[in-house]
Amino acid sequence: MRAPYALVPLLVVFACAKDRFPPEGAATSTSTGGTTTSTSTASTSGGGVLENTEALCSDGIDNDGNGFADCCDITCNDPKGGNVLAPCEADGMAEDTVERCSDCIDNDGNNFKDCGDFDCSKSPDADVKAYCDGILENSDEKCDDGIDNDKNGFTDCKDFSCCKNSAITVCSMGCVK
């Protein structure tokens, strides 16, 4: 007979992974000619619908209720995981407008998106620069407000833009895990 604690690691893995990946058989995805097509209307544990189709990834709604809509949702746009649905694919055009610097798409395909791309954060366009300055975590105030201002998944001293920035004093202990 196995000890009951042997199941704990499996439960922890499932608990961490269940919101990132659809349930087995819930979604299918095929990639042809550089375009990924997914089909599913699987429900999430929160009662929403997984954003994993081209239609759901371009409707302007946070369908699965996780706080991220369309191309800002990892189920629509996860280049590191190999899943980028057609509405979220790079089009090779510059990131040079507020709209293109806030769409969660690496429009120009240089592996930096939105205000994480110097085309946006160092833009000569005053509106684009003001938008990026408004969301980037680059001040003591923004690095100590409990908000993921730049929407990169890291908050305050867990965000490299705070903890690796010598001008930030609230993260004097370095990056927090």
Q: pLDDT tens, 117-131? A: 999 999 999 999 999
Q: Which of 13-17, 29-33, 121-125 has the lowest mean pLDDT?
A: 13-17
Domain hosting 146: range is: 137-177
In a domain, 4, yes or no: no
Decide if pLDDT at 161 tops 50: yes
20 within a domain of the structure (yes/no): no
Q: Is residue 109 part of a domain?
A: yes
| 77 lies in the same domain as 47 | yes
Is 47 inside a domain boundary?
A: yes
Rounded Cα distance between 9 and 148, Å, is: 29
137 neighbors 156 (Cβ within 8 angstroms): yes
Full-model pTM: 0.61
If you average pLDDT over residues 107-120, what whole number do you get?
Answer: 92
Phi/psi at 158 (5° precision): -90, -10
Q: Across-strand partners of 31?
A: 36
Same domain, 149 and 172: yes
Q: Is residue 5 part of a domain?
A: no
Burial class (CB in 10 A: 0-12, 13-18, 19+), 76: buried
Statement: residue 9 has pLDDT above 80: no
Segment 56-69 mean pLDDT: 90
Whether residue 39 is found in the same domain as residue 74: yes
Please tell me whether residues 165 and 141 are part of one structural domain.
yes
Band of the pLDDT at 33, cuts 50, 70, 90?
very low
Residue 17 falls inside a structural domain: no
| pLDDT interval class at 4 (50, 70, 90) | very low
Task: Give the span between the Cα atoms of 56 and 73, in whole angstroms.
Answer: 10
Do 165 and 144 share a domain, yes or no?
A: yes
Which residue has better confidence, 90 or 172? 90
* Number of domains within the chain: 3
Last residue in a domain, options 27, 55, 87? 87
